[in-house]
């Protein structure tokens, strides 16, 4: 089992601390959803965990079985690219690329200066397309895909990077509901079957409660909510959202 540990972490920008005293463990083999209201700092936390921006205080460490813990912010860019793959809300300019070419970009941390793929790299791309059920899209233009299909390709690119950690910022944003569900189901399957740390942020509470293995709530600090304690989470929001029931299904809406 692999493990990310947050120890008394403070996050923010320049001279501003957004949140402090954040402590948690994020384990492999599970889909962990970071939930919270808009503007609470979810994206900032994910970027800090991924070492895309420095922490204001505290530590983020990663430990694999039988190895010593390492601080992600001490890694070189090349080492970090082989440790953490990130799917952000911003999409790359890939208008002239095929699906296969976009997925193959995930192999760049392992290629030489000219970015040439070896036979082994091509095999990884083939396997990734198969695992993410994108083989039949391989030669299609990335720009011609639907939003849901593009997001699936970006997840495949992250998977082709072969990192133990995959971090996704709002991966279901702007998708229709069937695409949201398909994305969450695929991410959970990848985490469970490949024993990866998969951490995503979402403001779609209903989707998180239905499909994630573990829920971390970011408000004043980080707290874990077992999925059966949905009502406790709603109560703790102190009116920031309310719950309706339609045909015995709980629906959460932000106020």
Helix pair 147-160, 177-194: axis angle to 10 deg: 10
What are the sequence ranges of the domains in the chain?
3-231
Which pLDDT value is given to residue 197?
A: 97
Alpha-carbon 186 to chain mean position: 12
Class of domain 3-231: alpha beta
Determine whether 174 is exposed, middle or buried from the number of CB atoms within 10 Å of its CB (0-12, 13-18, 19+).
exposed
Residue 118 CA from chain centroid, whole number? 28
DSSP 199: E
Give the neighbor-by-neighbor strand order of the sheet with 214-218.
84-87, 165-169, 197-202, 30-35, 214-218, 222-224
Q: pTM of the full predicted structure?
A: 0.88
Q: What is the pLDDT of residue 252?
A: 40
| Predicted pLDDT at 228 | 65
124: nearest Cα among 79, 85, 66, 97 = 85
Are the C-beta atoms of 33 and 46 separated by less than 8 Å? no
| Residue spans of the chain under pLDDT 50 | 239-255
Q: CB–CB of 215/200 below 8 Å?
A: no
Residue 97 is predicted with a pLDDT of 94
């Amino acid at each position: 089992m692999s493990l990310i540990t947050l120890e008394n972490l403070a996050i923010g920008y320049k001279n501003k601390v957004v949140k402090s005293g954040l402590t948690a463990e994020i384990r492999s083999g599970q889909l962990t959803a970071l939930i919270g209201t808009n503007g609470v700092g979810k994206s900032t936390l994910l970027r800090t965990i991924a070492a895309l921006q420095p922490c204001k205080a505290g530590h983020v460490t990663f430990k694999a079985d039988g190895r010593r813990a390492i601080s992600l912010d001490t890694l070189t860019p090349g080492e970090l690219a082989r440790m953490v793959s990130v799917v952000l809300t911003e999409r790359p300019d890939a208008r002239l690329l095929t699906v296969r070419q976009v997925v193959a970009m995930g192999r760049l941390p392992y290629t030489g200066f000219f970015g040439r793929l070896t036979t082994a790299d091509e095999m990884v791309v083939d396997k990734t397309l198969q695992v993410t059920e994108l083989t039949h899209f391989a030669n299609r233009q990335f720009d011609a895909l639907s939003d849901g299909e593009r997001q699936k390709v970006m997840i495949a690119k992250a998977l082709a990077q072969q990192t133990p950690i995959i971090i996704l910022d709002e991966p279901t944003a702007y998708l229709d509901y069937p695409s949201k569900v398909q994305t969450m189901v695929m991410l959970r399957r990848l985490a469970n079957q490949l024993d990866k740390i998969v951490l995503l942020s979402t403001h779609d509470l209903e989707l998180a409660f239905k499909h994630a293995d573990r829920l971390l709530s970011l408000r004043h600090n980080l707290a874990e909510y077992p999925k059966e304690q949905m009502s406790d989470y709603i109560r703790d929001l102190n009116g920031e959202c309310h719950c309706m029931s339609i045909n015995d299904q709980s629906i959460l809406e932000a106020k």
